[in-house]
Structure 1
Amino acid sequence: METIQLDEFNIIGITVRTNNSDLDKLTNDMQGLWGRFMAEGIMQRIPNRIDDEICCIYTDYEGDHTKPYTALLGCRVSTLDEIPDGLSGRHYAGGKYAKKVYTGNILAGAVYDAWKEIWSLNLERSYVADLEIYGAKAANPENAEFEIMIGIK
């Protein structure tokens, strides 16, 4: 994984509280979050987007990756001055991250497989915020390219 310094950023989107220790709950929660994001046109409701990338931020960890956390699915924005009803806005200070680009079939578990690899690594994680970034190269879910950035100390 490449080490980078991520600048501060804002994000607006929808959230769910979940955990990785119950795979059925995790699957239901994340499928529900993505399903709602797409079905309700959440991206189009987000004002002041800086680009068309979709971000999923994992934050508010109660401990390590096996403990409950919040997933916030949305877009990075230039300001949090306008947050539509039903959406959440957050500011992140940025910091040091381990970054890797992954490819695969998102519908067949490529994202979960990427996370299993990450969990097996000996990273000194900060557990402040981890990010998945889905840009234009993720448009075809069967052959998607996506980035994962892990907050590190």
Structure 2
Amino acid sequence: MKYEIVEIPTKTMAGISIRTTNENMQAVNDIGKLWEEFWNKNIFSFTENKKNNKMYGVYTNYEGDFTKPYDFYACCEVSSEGNNNDEFSVISVPESKYAKFSLRGNYDEAAEKLWNTIWETKLDRKYTYDFEVYHNDGNDPENLLLEIYVAVN
């Protein structure tokens, strides 16, 4: 699968987070539960100062490579850190160079396929911030755009 190298400016995100690991498929369960909480608590609607209608999954605070523990945030991009719900974590994803992977399809299947491709691709990864962008760009759940940005040197 092809990817492109892009420069992305700093983004401010607000949402909820969990510490997890890819060992024993724990992240699949943890991240799934976090997205469920994101929807059940209507976090998308309650997030103030949203810049767009996209949802983001942010990976950061890696203890090593992708096999080690990291933090995951289910969040929205916001225009400022102020005026957000006190229950939300606010993080800043710094400007950086990223390998951008894109795929249309069902979000769960597309995410799994893209991450498997990323893990098999020889990239000079930074393991600082990586993020998924769920575009919410249609009514067909089998044809939605997902992009994954992986920080590279």
Asked whether the 8 Å contact 2:135–2:144 carries over to 1, the reply is: no
Work out the number of aligned pairs and report it.
Answer: 151
Cα distance in 2 between the residues matched to 1:80 and 1:45: 14
Which residue number corresponds to residue 98 of structure 1? Answer: 99
Which residue number corresponds to residue 110 of structure 1? Answer: 110
Which residue number corresponds to residue 82 of structure 1? Answer: 83
Asked whether the 8 Å contact 2:5–2:100 carries over to 1, the reply is: yes
Which residue number corresponds to residue 46 of structure 1? Answer: 47
Question: What letter matches 1:147 in structure 2?
Answer: E
Which residue number corresponds to residue 35 of structure 2? Answer: 34
- Compared CA separation, residues 103 and 15, structure 1 to 2 (3 A): same
- Identity over aligned pairs, percent: 32
How many angstroms does 1:17 deviate by? Answer: 0.9
Which residue number corresponds to residue 13 of structure 2? Answer: 11
Asked whether the 8 Å contact 1:138–1:146 carries over to 2, the reply is: no
Question: What letter matches 2:18 in structure 1?
Answer: V
Aligned-CA RMSD value: 1.4
Which residue number corresponds to residue 24 of structure 2? Answer: 22
TM-score using structure 1 length: 0.92
How many angstroms does 1:113 deviate by? Answer: 1.9
How many angstroms does 1:103 deviate by? Answer: 1.9
Match of 2:23, SS state, is: coil
Which residue number corresponds to residue 146 of structure 2? Answer: 146
Asked whether the 8 Å contact 2:107–2:146 carries over to 1, the reply is: no
How many angstroms does 1:140 deviate by? Answer: 3.7
TM-score using structure 2 length: 0.92
Match of 2:17, SS state, is: strand
How many angstroms does 1:124 deviate by? Answer: 0.4
Match of 1:142, SS state, is: coil
- Compared CA separation, residues 138 and 149, structure 1 to 2 (3 A): farther
How many angstroms does 1:138 deviate by? Answer: 6.2
